């Protein structure tokens, strides 16, 4: 049996080696810990599950597998072959956990599509402690057809899926990272579900990206690429926190949704966005959502950029890249504020909302680059 090792440095700096075998899963007893520990994670082969089998640490329910950690800080390794499956993944909170609890999930070549399954997210996080997701290989979570994600198609008469590609509702928390050799993720919403964040009419929870190559596509009816779902059901469309400190991140909003931030419509809600590193490219939806910040309606936001390379673009050549809110956005009593600071910050966009203080970095607006020292304000374009 031929094996390949993936080394992951855990939250406490501990080296965790997950053995991936090319032909099968290595499951030799661990000399160092119990099942579910960092050196002996629960292994799920997503393309070879058996409804009649018993699995320790998780349950298989036919259309989805549910991770059911008995205690805090459980570790899971989900293996795929790269072939598409329609078996969704749901992460439940531990039965008991403390303030520093975290569930660890490594994804390796997992491809889940729930196209045609109404309101079923391919990867759903329930309310509870943070889930630390480490990416290895290429992974994809797709709810249905999307015009700018090539590997999707719509069957005639197929039900629409309003869930998010990776559903992180208010009260849930996720951290994305990658193994040292790199890992990637594509998350696709179909209609009112975000790529990563809320589903139809749902606020997003806490989303943190520290590494990996991530592509997020908001549903075409107004969802954010990363952030809130479209709010046509009347509930909130932002409401969470989005923090990016590393990785290569690209996010596309749908219709009036933001690339990163609020989904379109619904009740007024807030989203807090901070970018301190990485390479970030974001495009608002075709009906005028901001690249980073608010939708084309009433969403409130804070956007603070203190590092990294940030490129805000429009959905097509007639639309500008926008940080903040688009000019057509409805007035709101919710805060809209932010800042751009830091000597290592590069921001390329067309428009920056007047409530965002530009105090540092290299900022290019409308094709004009400006090198700023910290605490030096400039007029907005």
Q: What is the pLDDT of residues 4-51, one digit of tens each?
A: 444 333 433 333 434 443 333 344 444 456 889 999 999 999 999 998
CA 66 to chain centroid, in Å, comes to 20
d(CA 359, CA 339): 7
pTM for the complete prediction?
0.88
Structure confidence at residue 296 as a pLDDT band (50, 70, 90):
confident
Q: What share of the chain is helix, strand, coil (3-state, %, to 5)?
A: 0, 45, 55
Q: Tokens 């660890």 label which residue? A: 104
Q: Tokens 């500008």 label which residue? A: 320
pLDDT of 152 over the 80 cut: no
Query: Could you tell me if 275 and 308 are in contact, meaning their C-beta atoms sit under 8 angstroms apart?
Result: yes
How wide is the angle at C-alpha 184 spanned by C-alphas 181 and 185, nearest 5°?
Answer: 155
d(CA 293, CA 228): 11
Helix runs in 86-140, H state only: none
Structure confidence at residue 375 as a pLDDT band (50, 70, 90):
very low
pLDDT of 330 over the 90 cut: no
d(CA 53, CA 60): 9
How wide is the angle at C-alpha 180 spanned by C-alphas 179 and 185, nearest 5°?
Answer: 45
pLDDT of 188 over the 90 cut: yes
Q: Collapsing DSSP states into helix, strand and coil, what is residue 309?
A: strand
Query: Could you tell me if 274 and 280 are in contact, meaning their C-beta atoms sit under 8 angstroms apart?
Result: no
Mean pLDDT, residues 331-348: 90
Interstrand relation of 15-21 and 3-9 (parallel, antiparallel or unpaired) = antiparallel
Q: What is the pLDDT of residue 28?
A: 40
* Both tokens assigned to 307: 């590092």
Query: Could you tell me if 120 and 64 are in contact, meaning their C-beta atoms sit under 8 angstroms apart?
Result: yes
100 burial via Cβ count (<10 Å: 0-12, 13-18, 19+): exposed
CA 343 to chain centroid, in Å, comes to 27
Closest by CA to 314, choosing from 296, 297, 332, is 296
43-95 confidence digits (pLDDT tens): 999 999 998 899 999 999 999 999 999 889 999 999 999 999 999 999 999 98
């Amino acid at each position: 049996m031929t094996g390949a090792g993936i080394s992951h440095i855990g939250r406490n700096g501990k080296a965790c080696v997950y053995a991936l075998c090319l032909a099968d899963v290595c499951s030799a007893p661990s000399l160092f810990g119990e099942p579910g520990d960092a050196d002996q994670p629960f292994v799920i082969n997503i393309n070879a599950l058996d409804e009649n089998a018993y699995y320790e640490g998780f349950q298989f329910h036919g259309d989805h597998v549910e991770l059911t950690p008995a205690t805090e800080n459980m570790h899971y390794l989900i293996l795929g072959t790269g072939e598409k499956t329609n078996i969704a993944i749901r992460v439940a909170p531990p039965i008991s956990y403390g303030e520093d609890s975290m569930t660890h999930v490594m994804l390796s070549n997992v491809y889940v599509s729930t196209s045609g399954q109404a309101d079923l997210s391919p990867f759903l996080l329930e309310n509870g402690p943070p889930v630390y997701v480490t990416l290895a290989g290429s992974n994809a979570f797709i709810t249905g057809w999307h015009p700018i994600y090539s590997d999707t198609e719509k069957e005639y008469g197929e039900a629409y899926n309003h869930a998010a590609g990776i559903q992180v509702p208010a009260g849930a928390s996720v951290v994305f990272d990658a193994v040292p050799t790199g890992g990637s993720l594509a998350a696709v919403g179909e209609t009112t579900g975000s790529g990563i964040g809320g589903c139809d009419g749902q606020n997003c929870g806490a989303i943190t990206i520290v590494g990996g190559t991530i592509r997020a596509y908001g549903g075409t009816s107004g969802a954010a690429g990363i952030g809130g779902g479209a709010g046509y059901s009347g509930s909130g469309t932002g409401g969470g926190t989005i923090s990016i400190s590393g990785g290569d991140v690209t996010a596309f909003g749908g219709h009036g949704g933001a690339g990163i931030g609020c989904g379109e419509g619904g009740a007024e809600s807030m989203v807090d966005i901070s970018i301190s590193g990485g390479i970030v490219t974001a495009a608002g939806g075709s009906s005028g959502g901001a690249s980073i910040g608010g939708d084309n309606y009433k969403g409130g936001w804070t956007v603070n950029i203190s590092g990294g390379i940030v490129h805000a673009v429009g959905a097509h050549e007639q639309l500008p890249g926008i940080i903040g809110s688009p000019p057509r956005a409805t007035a709101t009593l919710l805060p809209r504020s932010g800042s751009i600071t830091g000597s290592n910050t590069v921001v390329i966009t067309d428009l920056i909302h007047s409530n965002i203080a530009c105090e540092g970095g290299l900022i290019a607006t409308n094709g004009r680059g400006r090198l700023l020292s910290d605490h030096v304000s400039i007029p907005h374009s």
